[in-house]
């Protein structure tokens, strides 16, 4: 019997990368899955590869900026499974562009996807978890939610905002037996940099060297499920970049010197 045996896990951004890998890990742990993202064909592919019974998986396409649709989507989950045990807010978008050149429209998009969509979906799901007196909410932040780095000002800002919101939420919902986990990946080998927004809002279209050499999405997913199992409040994963969290805490000036030399690679 797995840790997630018969639990219903809703994953956004489930069509690729960390979301897809986490879906596979959840299936290994016996969980039932709700797969959400914009690309329906990719969600269908992931569903087939999971090999779950039809009764144990729901493909639920969604755009995380279409907040008005969330109530109806949550009702579809409840109609099929009767409950939501874990909400994994994983959908997000990154950025590559300096402050002076980045348009306000890009900053707005980053917040709509990475923050406001996440908050809105959480608010829709919370009443169900409170009613069932249990639940877990996991959120993909980033090490960029703990640090600021060049050419990612908007991305870092959205991830910092998640920490403020979900740390506050954790303090509010513990009494309802609801647990909140902030997931902070460093360099993970996904397409996040390919799909990042450039300063003008176009696709960045390049894979960062650090990303290509990063931790696998599967290793990341294993750590996420372990974090849920052990009811962690915050987890970090990656390579030596994780040390930045501790440098920020204990040696902030040293970290500042390191970051001043950094550019996305």
* Positions marked catalytic: 155
- For residues 238 and 192, is the Cβ–Cβ distance under 8 A? no
- For residues 43 and 68, is the Cβ–Cβ distance under 8 A? no
- Cα–Cα distance for residue pair 163/169, rounded to 1 Å: 10
**98 to each of 148, 196, 205, how far by Cα in Å?**
13, 13, 16
SS3 per-residue string spanning the chain: CCCCCCCEEEEECCCCHHHHHHHHHHHHCCCEEEEECCCHHHHHHHHHHHCCCHHHEEECCCCCCCHHHHHHHHHHHHHHHCCCCEEEECCCCCEECCCCCCCHHHHHHHHHHHHHHHHHHHHHHHHHHHHHCCEEEEEECCHHHCCCCCCCHHHHHHHHHHHHHHHHHHHHHHHHCEEEEEEEECCECCCCCCCCEECCCCECCCCCHHHHCCECHHHHHHHHHHHHHCCCCEEEECCHHHHHHHHHHHCHHHHHHHHHCCCCC
């Amino acid at each position: 019997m797995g840790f997630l045996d018969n639990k219903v896990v809703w994953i956004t951004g489930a069509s690729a990368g960390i979301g897809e890998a986490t879906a596979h890990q959840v299936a290994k742990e016996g969980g039932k899955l709700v797969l959400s993202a914009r690309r329906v064909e990719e969600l269908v592919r992931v569903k087939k590869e999971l090999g779950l019974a039809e009764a144990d998986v729901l493909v639920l396409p969604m755009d995380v900026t279409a907040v008005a649709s969330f109530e109806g989507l949550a009702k579809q989950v409840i109609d099929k499974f009767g409950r939501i045990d874990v909400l994994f807010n994983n959908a997000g978008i990154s950025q590559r562009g300096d402050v002076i050149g980045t348009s306000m429209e890009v900053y707005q998009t980053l917040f709509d996807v990475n923050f406001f969509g996440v908050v809105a979906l959480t608010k829709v799901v919370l009443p169900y978890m409170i009613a069932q007196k249990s639940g877990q909410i996991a959120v993909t932040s980033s090490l960029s939610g703990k640090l600021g780095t060049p050419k990612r000002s908007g991305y870092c800002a959205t991830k910092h905002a998640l920490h403020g919101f979900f740390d506050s939420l954790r303090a509010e919902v513990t009494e309802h037996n609801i647990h909140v986990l902030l997931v902070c990946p460093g360099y993970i080998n996904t397409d996040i940099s390919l799909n990042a927004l450039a300063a003008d809002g176009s696709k960045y279209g390049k894979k960062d060297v650090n990303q290509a050499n990063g931790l696998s999405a599967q290793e990341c997913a294993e750590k996420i499920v372990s974090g849920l199992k052990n009811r962690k409040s915050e987890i970090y994963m990656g390579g030596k970049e994780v040390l930045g969290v501790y440098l920020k805490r204990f040696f902030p000036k040293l970290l500042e010197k390191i970051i001043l030399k950094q550019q996305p690679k």
